[in-house]
């Protein structure tokens, strides 16, 4: 017996169908596609929350600004994934905006020590000039 894939409407053998999270029967390629999306979203959440938590950690432990650099690069990676328009990497912008904010915070906090160094240098220079 053949049925229509719930996602792409292709006719498939019922015995060869897969059940997705919503309980619909989908063909192999749609099932894999959903799996990709899920993994990608998981990766997106990981880099976003990673960026933020590493940036917080950098307040306590930050040799050679390594944690700051990780926080900034993870944050930038989050933004890149969020705005990427590749077919397999589409992010629900409204639903995932919170993670984008998390990543931006990670970048901002990650930048703090560099701003501090910059200010110290700038103020130090102006102090010696007076």
70 interacts with Zn ion by CB under 5 A: no
Shortest Cβ 87–Zn ion spacing (Å): 15
Check if the beta carbon of residue 68 is closer than 8 Å to that of residue 62. yes
100 interacts with Zn ion by CB under 5 A: no
State the binding string over 17-46 for Zn ion (x if CB under 5 A, else -). Answer: ----------x--x----------------
Check if the beta carbon of residue 54 is closer than 8 Å to that of residue 67. yes
State the binding string over 1-20 for Zn ion (x if CB under 5 A, else -). Answer: ----x-xx-x----------
Shortest Cβ 104–Zn ion spacing (Å): 36
Q: Give CA–CA dist 84/35, Å, rounded.
A: 18
């Amino acid at each position: 017996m053949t049925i229509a894939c719930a996602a792409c409407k292709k006719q498939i053998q019922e015995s060869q169908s897969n059940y997705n999270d919503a309980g619909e029967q989908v063909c192999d390629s749609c099932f894999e596609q959903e799996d990709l999306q899920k993994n990608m979203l998981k990766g997106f959440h990981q880099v976003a929350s990673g960026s933020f938590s590493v940036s917080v950690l950098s307040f306590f432990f930050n040799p050679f600004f390594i944690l700051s650099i990780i926080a900034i690069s993870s944050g930038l990676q989050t933004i890149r994934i969020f705005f990427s328009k590749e077919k397999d990497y589409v992010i629900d912008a409204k639903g995932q905006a919170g993670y984008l904010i998390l990543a931006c915070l990670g970048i901002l906090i990650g930048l703090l020590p560099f701003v501090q160094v910059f200010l110290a240098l700038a103020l130090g220079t102006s102090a010696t000039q007076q």
